[in-house]
Amino acid sequence: MELRDYASKYNGITFSREGGVLEMAIHTRGGPAQWGTRVTSLHAELGDAFAHIALDRENKVVILTGTGDSFLTQFDAEENFPETDMSHMWARIHQEGMELLNNLLAIPVPMIAAVNGPATIHAEIPVLCDIVLAAEHAEFADLAHVPSGTVPGDGVHVVWPMLLGPNRGRYFLLTGERIGAQEARSIGVVGEVLAADALLPRARELARQLAANSAPMLRHTRAILARELRMRMIGELSAGLAHEGLAMLSYSAP
């Protein structure tokens, strides 16, 4: 697998690479990223992209960031799922949900998240990276699930209680609490908080430092650092998605 095999494959992801450091920026039609359920949405594309990244042995470090002044805060009003009903749609969403987080964690090299603004939809994606940097105006919340009437079962139920502790994690998921960048740093979710214009330069600086190490060292380091997260996700993600789907089907039934 080479960068040219996937660099132009996705509607909502742009790639560049220099010195073994792969940068991937999520977007929607060139602007800030929005979340959707169509087969061309980020929900569908990210898991596939992570799988390709994992197979490209020229990647030594991966930087994940957003576009504009937000990481991910909006649903895409233009996106509607193509299936005839919710039950058929959810079979695909379950598979995509499994690939999204399991394939992220299966990337065999260190990952750096440069959270360029608020992440209130699927904020678990950037915080699963090994190093999390945040712009000063960034904040973290889970507004896609309980506040929107949806079961928080697609990995957020694993990630946030691990990062925040069981009680704060459940509070966070059930209330839609927003955690600002500085507080996120003080409680250990974020490593550094930076001015917006300093965010990517710092991510690149750290990536270059890491990429100076040998590929085997980086790969074995990533393996041990991601091991517990991978085990937890393998054990709990599918069941969480099933509960989320069952709830959706129950209130969408005629």
* Residue listed under structure tokens 């909502």: 12
**Number of C-beta neighbours around residue 218 at 10 A:** 20
Q: Would you please indicate which residues are annotated as catalytic (active-site) residues?
A: 124
CA distance 197 to 174: 33
